[in-house]
Structure 1
Amino acid sequence: MDGPAEPRIPALWDTQENILELSQKLSGEYFRYKGIPFPVGIYSPESIRMVENADVQDDDIFIITYPKSGTNWMIEILSLILKDGDPSWIHSVPIWKRAPWCETIMGALSLSDQTSPRLMSSHLPIQLFTKAFFNSKAKVIYVGRNPRDVVVSFYHYSKIAGQLKDPGTPDQFLQNFLKGEVQFGSWFDHIKGWIRMQGKENFLFITYEELQQDLHGSVKRICQFLGRPLGEEALGSVVAHSAFGAMKANAMSNYTLLPPSLLDQRHGAFLRKGVCGDWKNHFTVAQSEAFDRVYREQMRGLPTFPWDVSEDASPDPDPSPSPPEASEPPNP
């Protein structure tokens, strides 16, 4: 353990009072747990250790992502699949209660309250994930995303999220990202760790790009993985209610219930464009070349990802030198 334990925060975070109490404990500082940076206040060494040693049920479903890779989109999809396409759950329960974040202080304390099958989310790298999972039949769905788009989305999120450090300039943030000096550490280490699970029957790797290109087909694939086939009407409902526009309009899914001290949406909505390849509008040629050098070195020997075959288009040689305006905050 690499830092002092943070004070516990109430697990009953379904009230505005509890959420406000949480937001007032945020400092924008990070601690390290086994070398990985975590924001103080949202996480603690104790909460992460609780997750490492937690019990797992065979019907548990975990959504694993690196930050800003489509986590909330997958929560919405699975929330609808588990209810056979009925949208009443996604319209009545906040998204963070439907799939608690395991490693957060509040999430770690609320997992035992989840009804079966438990739907849970995590950004943890594989070496910090719940040990009991690897000897269980519980399922993991890992969502990957073009890391260039992750950078842009992460930069914006860092601007409006109270627990995160100010990202600085776009160049500074890009360098920190490439070095893994951001919350949850290196994107490269994260995906390389989890991709080793590929081929196991309780692990599904799917990408943001695949969801964006063919949501209907992706939902069918997810249903097959979960052993929960849906009829065409229910399938259509899942697709319709998990579409970007529907999520953006859903107060239970767009994070507008959170106070500005936790997520300052006065400077831009949490859900942004819901598109792929937007990085080309924001990377300079020099930034793109610097990224590609590190990417090629880090990802040597790995399989080709959907974003690898779509990177034939170069960025605008003279884009705006800054990331998108605050009115264009991060994707789900």
Structure 2
Amino acid sequence: MTEAELYTVYKGVPMSARMHSPQALKHFEEFSFRSDDILIVTYPKSGTTWTQEIVPLIMSGGDPASVETVPNWRRVPWLEIGRSYTFNLEERPSPRMLATHYHYNMMPSSFFKAKPKVIYVMRNPKDVFTSSFHYYGMASFLENPGPQSEFLNKFLDGKVMFGSWFDHVKSWLNAEDKERIMYISYEEMIMDLKDSVARIAQFLDKSLDAEVTEKIAERCLFKNMKQNKMSNYSTAPPELMDQTKSEFLRKGIAGDWKNQLTVAEAEYFDAVYEDKMKDVKCKFVWD
């Protein structure tokens, strides 16, 4: 399929035509948020699946059934993906756990009125690129990445699914009502997962004792989560994701870009990053 056939443009942002049907996008536009909703927001390949494992375990007080019996796309559904409008989310009891890859300025009007809690997960964009390169090679609903140098230019220009990483991150960093948003990085979660779980639980006003916090952190270690069939997408049809080409949950590490990018590509990435982020005051873990 051609790039034009694979993607649709919504609010100026490229999205997968197969995964984001007009009906699904309309459903999200009309979606009614509640003030006690919990919304996980990420740019793709920044730790969404990981956070979809952590948050339900926190909210269930560590009960593993919350992640062992329900696929992650049902337990914490993406609001913009095709099947989500069939999940009867309006009937789910509060607090609902939801997810989106939308930029801040793409959010529907009810989001700004209800002001739900948001967990915004960021990741070193070089690692986002690396993970994306492998993901685009195994997902049939995305354009084949082609040569790495070409995909790098597309990624840095925002000509990929969900557009520019830079625009996405800046839109959420500049969001209003920041007291309702928790900013956390993939790298922080890797460095100290137990502390990250405790911080997320505190943000969600969920009291957990030290033993439960430790059990959740242990269960959510990448090596353990990777074995969970409800999270590793092993049940996804191979014609949608061919995991013989690349596993959906691949390495789960920080710094893999060093094994992917050439020296020249890394230097070019740094130059673009410096230019695009020059007005951002936030200090990132990876800087």
TM bin, normalised by shorter chain, reads over 0.9
- Contact 1:28 1:164 (C-alpha < 8 Å) held by counterparts: no
After superposition, what is the alpha-carbon deviation per residue over 1:63-121, rounded to whole angstroms, capped at 9, x for unaligned?
A: 00000000000010001001101111211111111001100121134222433211111
Aligned to 2:45: 68
Mapping 1:57-96, distance limit 5 Å: 57-96=34-73
After superposition, what is the alpha-carbon deviation per residue over 1:144-175, rounded to whole angstroms, capped at 9, x for unaligned?
A: 00000000000110011121011111001000
**Partner Cα separation in structure 2 for residue 114 and residue 255 of structure 1:** 24
**Partner Cα separation in structure 2 for residue 101 and residue 115 of structure 1:** 17
After superposition, what is the alpha-carbon deviation per residue over 1:244-276, rounded to whole angstroms, capped at 9, x for unaligned?
A: 011111111111011101111122321111110
Residue 34 in structure 1 maps to residue 11 in structure 2: yes
* Structure with greater proportional helix content: 2
Q: Aligned to 2:284, which of 288, 291, 305? A: 305
Aligned to 1:180: 158
- 2:285 maps to a residue whose letter is P
Structure-2 change in CA distance of 1:199 and 1:138 (3 Å): closer
Q: Aligned to 2:135, which of 157, 171, 191? A: 157
RMSD: 1.5
Q: Aligned to 1:285, which of 245, 257, 263? A: 263
* 1:198 CA displacement: 7.2
**Partner Cα separation in structure 2 for residue 198 and residue 225 of structure 1:** 17
**Partner Cα separation in structure 2 for residue 268 and residue 125 of structure 1:** 27
TM-score (norm 2): 0.94
- 2:82 maps to a residue whose letter is I
* 1:131 CA displacement: 1.9
* 1:28 CA displacement: 6.3
SS in 1 for 2:99: strand
- 2:36 maps to a residue whose letter is D
Which 4+ residue blocks in structure 1 deviate beyond 4 angstroms? none
**Partner Cα separation in structure 1 for residue 274 and residue 177 of structure 2:** 24
Q: How many residues align?
A: 282
Structure-2 change in CA distance of 1:28 and 1:79 (3 Å): farther
Aligned to 1:97: 74
* 1:286 CA displacement: 1.1
**Partner Cα separation in structure 2 for residue 273 and residue 101 of structure 1:** 23
Greater shift in the superposed pair: 246-255 or 104-113: 104-113
- Contact 1:28 1:165 (C-alpha < 8 Å) held by counterparts: no
Give percent identity, aligned residues only.
45
TM-score (norm 1): 0.82
Structure-2 change in CA distance of 1:36 and 1:69 (3 Å): same
**Partner Cα separation in structure 1 for residue 29 and residue 165 of structure 2:** 20
Aligned to 1:3: none
SS in 2 for 1:63: strand
* Structure 1: segments with no counterpart, 5+ residues: 1-26, 309-332
**Partner Cα separation in structure 2 for residue 32 and residue 198 of structure 1:** 25
- Contact 2:104 2:175 (C-alpha < 8 Å) held by counterparts: no
- 1:210 maps to a residue whose letter is E
* 1:40 CA displacement: 1.2
- 1:67 maps to a residue whose letter is P
Aligned to 1:108: 85
SS in 2 for 1:224: helix
* Structure 2: segments with no counterpart, 5+ residues: none
Structure-2 change in CA distance of 1:58 and 1:280 (3 Å): same
- 2:47 maps to a residue whose letter is G
Greater shift in the superposed pair: 284-293 or 37-46: 37-46
Greater shift in the superposed pair: 111-120 or 266-275: 111-120
* 1:46 CA displacement: 3.5
- Contact 1:28 1:163 (C-alpha < 8 Å) held by counterparts: no
